[in-house]
Structures are given as C-alpha cells and as structure tokens.
Copies of this chain bind each other. A is one copy, B any other.
C-alpha cells in the first residue's frame, strides 16, 4: 500500500485521479498544495524539487520510502490497488486504453471549449464550435460504452465540462454518467452553458 506526499496546486483535476484511486485503495496520500510547503511556480523550480522531478510538472508524488514519480496517470497507477490497475492483462490493457483515450481524445476539446470561458486562453468562435462537436462525439461514444462500467480517470477529464458548460439538456443524452459523481462528491453541475464573455 503506497503512502506518501502529493505536490499539486489546489483544484487540479489531474490530482483528483490519484486522490480518488487512493480512496479506493486505501493508500495514505498527504497533499501539499499551499504555502508554506508549496508555492506553485516557485517550489517546482527549486533544485531539490527538480532533482526529484526533472520535468518540474504537477502533480508529483514522493513515496515515504523516497520513490518519486510524476505524470498523473503514473501516480494514479502507483497509489492504486491491483484490482483498479486491472488484475488480468486484458483488464489492465483496457484501463490503459481508456486512460490514453481520455488524455488524447478528451482533454484537448475540453480545454479548447472551457479555457476561453475561464479567461485562460483567447476565444475563437470556430474553435469553440469544433470543440463542442468533438465533445458531443466523444461523449456519445463513451456513453455507449459506460453501461455497467466505472471509469474514474475519465470523469476527472470531464470536470471542466460538467462544471462550466454541460447543462442538463446537454448531458441528458448521456445517462450513464450520473453515477460517477458519487465518487467526486457534490460537483456543482453547470445549470446554464457558460458562454465566452469578451
């Protein structure tokens, strides 16, 4: 059972994956996400941090025994238990499949749709429209596959969307998602699709 410290900035959906996995596996994960232990933009540039985590990325995990790993999917794997990792090569391959599909298929359109609304990146009407259609396509594909299955890693990449833009009318078409939120606690689902406000 892994025990250790997770360095991240607050509200980091990438860290949620590992924290949810730890809830299931019972791993003891101590989160450092605020001063004095953690200053995003400074802590990750100190020589001692870069020596442990050369990419300087968050989240980063340091096991009590000194084992260091970065990349949220790798941390999630490490704090997981055998069952959630996939106890057969087929099960483990399918976990890897949906993890990879989440990162390559969902994060880009989710960011392209929501970041401009949050003021993180510039707004581009066509890019937003493209992202919205891509999200609809991906959700449709997932919805067909999520019957009877739980994909926690997927839900963390959907957080932005459900908090900002996917209003009930949008996600009614994908009924299999609602069970996921039980693990994340009350996530305020978007009531009204947020629009870019210049």
Query: How far is it, in angstroms, between the C-alpha of A104 and the C-alpha of B107 when the chains are bound?
Result: 11
Closest to A56 in B: B141
For this chain, the copies found in one complex come to: 2
Q: Does A178 sit within 8 A of B, measured CB to CB?
A: no
Interface locus among A36-44, A73-81, A127-135, A181-189: A73-81
CB distance from A113 to the nearest CB of B (A): 18
Among A5-13, A89-97, A155-163, which stretch is in contact with chain B? A89-97
Rounded to whole Å, the gap between the CB of A124 and the closest CB of chain B is 15
- Contact residues in B for A103 (Cβ distance below 8 Å): 100, 103-104
Given contacts A2-B89, A55-B105, A93-B69, whether A100 and B74 have CB atoms under 8 Å apart is: yes
Q: Does A167 contact B (CB under 8 A)?
A: no
Residues B101 and A71 in contact, CB atoms below 8 Å apart:
yes
Residues of B within 8 A of A147 (CB): none
Chain B residue with Cβ nearest A82: B89
A175: interface (CB < 8 Å):
no
Q: Which residues, 82 to 132 on A, are CB-close (under 8 Å) to B?
A: 85, 89-90, 92-94, 96-98, 100-101, 103-105
Point out residues on A near B: beta carbons under 8 Å: 2, 54-55, 67, 69-75, 77-78, 85, 89-90, 92-94, 96-98, 100-101, 103-105, 141, 144-145
